[in-house]
Amino acid sequence: MQPSIADFAAGCFWGMEETFRRIPGVLEVQVGYEGGTLPNPTYEDVCSGRTGHAETVRVTFDPARVGYARLLDIFFDHHDPTTPNRQGPDVGHQYRSVIFFHTPEQKQLAQQEKQRRDSTGEYARPLVTAIEPATTFYPAEEYHQRYYEKHGLAPACHLGNGKRAVRHPPS
């Protein structure tokens, strides 16, 4: 079976890169920029907020070992899909929540999962994740690839997942 590709934007790409790298069946994760208008943007271009790109991870995976539905679970559970243009302290259009689909099946699964999660009542606010066709993916500069690994840091850029706090009854 041929490897498949999935593109997810969930705020800071470093944390999502590290999260997806740990999943059995994921063959490669690359950080980059997608969804904007400027060809070959740099990190500085994207951070300016004027290119329309989102910090994105491109996940190459073996669908015989990990399904797209599982990747969607990881995406939604490891960022806050209820905050427009923001993840934790990172604010701007480049930090928006987006699923860039490559096939009609990916689009359908993404729409179903977003709708399912939105209807559960477990989120504090409605999900704002956009579901858009994949466009040109521009790999980020080499110093952004495997950033946490290269610097010996623990992933720390994603705070919360937008779900309501669980309240336990008094004992």
Residues identified as active-site: 12
Type of residue found at 106: Q
* Residue 106 host element (H or E): helix 104-119
Cα distances from 132 to residues 58, 127, 158, 165, in angstroms, run 14, 15, 22, 30
The tokens for 7 are 């593109």
Rounded distance, CA 96 to CA 12, Å? 9
